[in-house]
């Protein structure tokens, strides 16, 4: 075994099952391992590297700010936070933002905001507020969040869990309507489920959900940690249905692939329930994160990465549909957020990913059945053509091996 992998296995908790490759460098859509082998990155760190690895403008912003002022906590004002939050609020149509670091922290922030809004504004009796979530959801790994997961492994051994959550089938608008009560504070939903296997709900699902929430004075909170900032071909995935949510959660790509940066955004009525001391984060909104986050947004807009994602995503899906492999059960995607569902009776998605790695493509399986394709948004047609050739080669070889026993 590789000595670096041995060292990591010895000292690191076994909470991941990585592919057996040691990455040491990245640039654009490519990464290199410790043996100087080159790979096309079709994962983008779960959409965190949407701008590509080592984007020169983002590196410059990081280096300049790190040399000036990196961390000072929100105990003081800085010259970087205001411009960053102004930009993201203007782009998303929100009034205010609360900056955090990781996606899970931003989700926890959204839940706290929803509950306090329910008590202070909507008039729900103390400790009775409910938040509705969906089966197949993935909002993070905290105790509260895994408590309302429908994935048994995420919950196994971690209870007891907080109460106040209802789980309904994803994509079922009738189930949402039935679940809403006078105590419902919010409906928390991913416009497209990423970790669930790139699951796209029925057309107009989000739009109908928004109408229901407005009718019943319930907050619609969209978790766009993975789908946001151009990944699906729009700045936000909810914009595919012209939906303006009451609350929005961003992360991953917000840090430009360099830092953990996240936030919860909402209208004033929701965000103004917070007062000093209610919530906070030592690193949330630090000047280094704000400088990089602002430049990440500028690059996203100036380089038209959302538009490029729409064009290249449609191209990639069209190319994949030409593959006639019996191993492919389904293809799903929007923009550069695509899942190849592998027929579990014929092959395992993990094996597909391992064989793709040998061909110079890095991806990762989801729930043992889906190969996720989410490359940096700067990928070109030529790079897509090459990637599809490798995918075709791998699937044909796997089919041939199975056919010959």
Look up residue 25 and give its two tokens.
């460098």
| DSSP state, residue 96 | E
350: exposed, middle or buried (Cβ count in 10 Å: 0-12, 13-18, 19+): middle
Using only C-alpha atoms, the chain has a radius of gyration, in whole angstroms, of 21
Q: Which residue has the tokens 């593959």?
A: 323
Tokens of 108: 């926890």
How far is the CA of 300 from the CAs of 64, 67, 90, 191, in angstroms? 20, 24, 14, 20
Q: In sequence order, what DSSP letters do the residues of 32-91 get, joined into one string?
A: EETT--EEEESSHHHHTTTT-BT-HHHHHHHHHHHHH-----TTS--TTHHHHHHHHHHH
Tokens 């909810």 belong to 238
The SS3 assignment for 384 reads helix
From CA 27, how far away is CA 15, in angstroms rounded?
Answer: 27
Between strands 338-342 and 361-362, the pairing is: unpaired
Q: How far is 399 from 116, CA to CA, in rounded Å? A: 55
Tell me the C-alpha distance between 218 and 391, whole Å: 44
Could you tell me how far CA 230 lies from the centroid of its own chain? 11
Is-contact 61 382, C-beta < 8 A? no
Query: What residues act catalytically?
Result: 138, 223, 252
Q: Coil, strand, or helix at residue 5?
A: helix
DSSP code string of 160-221:
-----EEEE-TT-HHHHHHH--TTEEEEEE-SSBTTTTSBPPPTTHHHHHHHHHHHTT-EEE
């Amino acid at each position: 075994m590789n000595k670096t992998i041995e060292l990591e296995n010895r000292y690191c908790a076994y909470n991941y099952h990585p592919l057996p490759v040691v990455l040491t460098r990245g640039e654009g859509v490519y990464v290199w391992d410790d043996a100087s082998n080159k790979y096309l990155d079709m994962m983008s760190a779960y959409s965190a590297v949407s701008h590509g690895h080592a984007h020169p403008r983002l590196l410059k912003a990081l280096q300049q700010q790190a040399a000036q002022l990196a961390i000072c906590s929100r105990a003081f004002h800085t010259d970087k936070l205001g411009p960053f939050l102004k930009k993201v609020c203007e782009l998303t149509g929100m009034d205010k933002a609360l900056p955090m670091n990781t996606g899970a922290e931003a989700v926890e922030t959204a839940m706290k905001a929803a509950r306090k809004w329910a008590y202070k504004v909507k008039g729900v009796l103390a400790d009775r507020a409910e938040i509705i979530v969906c089966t197949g959801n993935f909002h993070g790994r905290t105790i509260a969040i895994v408590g309302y997961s429908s994935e048994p492994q995420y919950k196994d051994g971690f209870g007891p869990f907080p109460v106040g959550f209802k789980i309904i089938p994803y994509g079922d608008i009738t189930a949402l309507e039935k679940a809403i009560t006078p105590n419902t504070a919010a409906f928390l939903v991913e416009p497209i489920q990423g970790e669930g296997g790139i699951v796209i709900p029925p057309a107009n699902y989000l739009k109908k959900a928004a109408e229901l929430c407005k009718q019943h004075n319930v907050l619609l909170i969209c978790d766009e940690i993975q789908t946001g900032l151009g990944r699906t071909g729009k700045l936000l995935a909810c914009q595919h249905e012209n939906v303006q949510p009451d609350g929005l959660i961003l992360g991953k790509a917000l840090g430009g692939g360099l830092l953990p940066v996240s936030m919860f955004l909402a209208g004033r009525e929701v965000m103004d329930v917070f007062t000093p001391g209610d919530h906070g984060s030592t690193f949330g909104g630090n000047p280094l994160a704000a400088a990089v986050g602002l430049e990440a947004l500028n690059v996203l807009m100036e380089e038209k990465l959302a538009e490029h994602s729409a064009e290249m995503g449609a191209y990639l899906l069209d190319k994949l549909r030409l593959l006639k492999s019996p191993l492919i059960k389904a293809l799903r995607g929007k923009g550069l957020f695509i899942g190849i569902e592998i027929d579990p009776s014929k092959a395992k998605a993990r094996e597909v990913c391992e064989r793709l790695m040998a061909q110079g493509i890095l991806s990762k399986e989801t729930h043992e059945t889906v190969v996720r394709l989410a490359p940096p948004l700067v990928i070109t047609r030529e790079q897509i053509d090459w990637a599809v050739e490798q995918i075709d080669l791998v699937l044909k070889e796997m089919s041939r091996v199975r056919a010959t026993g």
